[in-house]
Amino acid sequence: MPYTIIRPTSVMVLGVKLHINSSLKSIKTEIFHIGKADNLVSMLYVKNLVNLTLTLTLNKKAFNEIFFANDFNPYTMKEFADVAGLYYKNKIRTIPNLIIVPAAYGLGVVKLLGINVPLYPFRLKNIKASYYYNIVKSIDAGYKPKYDLQNGIKETLDWYEKNYFENNNRFIVFINVSIGISIL
């Protein structure tokens, strides 16, 4: 039996009831970038994932193949945060590495004592890591992402503002298939 595997990157999803990505929650409350935020990440709006899935469904070139799904180009975390910040008309400030790195190591010691902390060295490394994937194979099979970062974030946040956010308890869902569910 033929198969096709689609490996999406971080997906902006509507209608999933999970608490995640406090980085977007912090954007709502005007918090900060960590360091230069110049690491590259692949993002994908859920409707682009559906588009790729439908494109590959009946494509014989897709049989017994693996495809990555994301936007045409990766984005820096700064671009990602700034686009979401613009939605809320917030300018995102930066905490320099000179401050955040020692803070992460200090909090790492506290974490070793069994106390839950928001940032520690391993988490900082993950936040600052670049991960992006080549989608040439998906494009060659007919995939054309219709939503870019700006449109995907806008439509996602519009939906959550209208349907989900209550009592200023704001959160948004991003599922990162490559590392599980991202909870920052």
Query: What is the domain partition of the chain in residue ranges?
Result: 4-181
69 CB-contact burial (10 Å; exposed 0-12 / middle 13-18 / buried 19+):
buried
What's the whole-number mean pLDDT along residues 36-48?
88
The rounded distance, in Å, linking the Cα atoms of 70 and 153 is 14
For residue 181, the cross-strand partners are 175
The CATH number corresponding to 4-181 among 3.40.50.720, 3.40.50.300, 3.40.640.10, 3.40.50.2300 equals 3.40.50.720
Q: Is the pLDDT of residue 166 over 70?
A: no
pLDDT tens per residue, range 5-29: 999 887 776 555 443 344 455 556 6
pTM: 0.74
Q: What Å distances lie between residue 184 and 8, 90, 119, 126, 176, CA to CA?
A: 19, 20, 9, 10, 12
Q: Is 122 helix (H, G, I), strand (E, B) or coil?
A: helix
What are the tens digits of pLDDT across the range 60-89? 889 999 999 988 889 998 888 888 888 888
> 96 by DSSP, 3-state: which?
coil
Listed residue (74, 94, 75) closest to 30, CA to CA:
94
Looking at residue 83, its pLDDT comes to 86
